[in-house]
Amino acid sequence: MQSIELTATHSAAKDWEEKMKADGVDISACYQCGKCTAGCPMAESMDYTTRQVVRLLQMGLVDEALRSNSIWFCLSCQTCSTRCPKDVDPAKMMEVLRWESQKQGVAAMPNVIIFHKAFLEAVKNNGRLFEVEMTMKNNLRSRDLFNNVDLGPKMMFKGKLQMLPPRIGDNGEVKKLFERVRERRGG
Amino acid sequence: MKIAYYPGCSLETTGIEFHLSTEYCAKKVDLELWEIPSWNCCGASSAHTLDHLLSLALPARNLAIAEKEGLDVAVPCAACYTHFKNVEAEVRQNEEVQQEVAQVIDMDYHATNNTKSILEVFVDQVGLNAIGAEVKKPLEGLKVACYYGCFLVRPPKLGHFDDRTEDPQSMDDLITALGGTPVEWPHKTECCGAGMVTLSPENGLPLSYELLRAAQLCGADCIAAACPMCQMNLDLRQEEIKKKYKADFNLPIYYFTELMALSFGASPKEIGLQKHFVESVSLVAEIGRKETA
Ligand code: SF4
Ligand code: SF4
| pLDDT profile of chain B (293 residues), mean per 10 | 94 90 98 96 88 95 98 96 96 97 97 98 98 97 97 94 95 98 97 91 95 97 96 94 93 98 97 95 83 48
Shortest CB distance from B194 goes to which of A75, A160, A162? A75
- Do B205 and B213 meet the contact criterion of CB atoms below 8 Å apart? no
- pLDDT at residue number A129: 75
Structural domains in chain B, CATH included, are: 2-117 (1.20.1050.140), 128-284 (3.40.50.11810)
On whether the CB atoms of residues A31 and A86 are closer than 8 A, the answer is yes
What confidence score (pLDDT) does residue B233 get? 94
Q: Which residues of A touch B13 (CB under 8 A)?
A: 131, 155, 160-162
SS3 breakdown of chain A: % helix, strand, coil, rounded to 5?
60, 0, 40
- DSSP state at residue A44: G
Protein residues whose CB sits closer than 6 Å to any atom of ligand 1: A 30-36, 51, 54, 84-86, 88, 90
CA dist B103 → A174, A181, A187, B48 (Å): 13, 10, 17, 19
Q: Chains A and B: how many Cβ contacts under 8 Å?
A: 138
Q: Within 10 A of B57 (CB to CB), how many other CB atoms are there?
A: 29
ipTM of the complex: 0.93
Query: Which atom of ligand 1 lies at the shortest distance from residue A80's CA?
Result: 1
What residues in A contact B228, CB-CB < 8 Å?
A: none
Residue ranges in chain A modelled with pLDDT below 70: 1, 130, 132-153, 155-157, 160-164, 186-187
Residues contacting B217, CB < 8 A, separation 6+: B185
Task: Please name the helix (run of DSSP H) or strand (run of DSSP E) that holds residue A79, with its range, or none.
Answer: helix A79-83
Cα B255 to ligand 1 centre (Å):
35
Cα–Cα distance between A150 and A179 in angstroms, integer? 35
Return the pLDDT at A22.
Answer: 94
**Which secondary structure element, helix H or strand E, spans residue B34, and what is its range?**
strand B32-35
Q: Which residues contact B248 (CB under 8 A, 6 or more apart)?
A: B242
Q: What is the pLDDT of residue B293?
A: 44
Domains present along chain A, CATH in parentheses: 8-104 (1.10.1060.10), 110-185 (no CATH)
Query: B223 with B144: CB under 8 angstroms?
Result: yes
Coil, strand or helix: which one is B99? helix
Report the alpha-carbon distance of residue B87 to residue B255 in Å, rounded.
Answer: 26
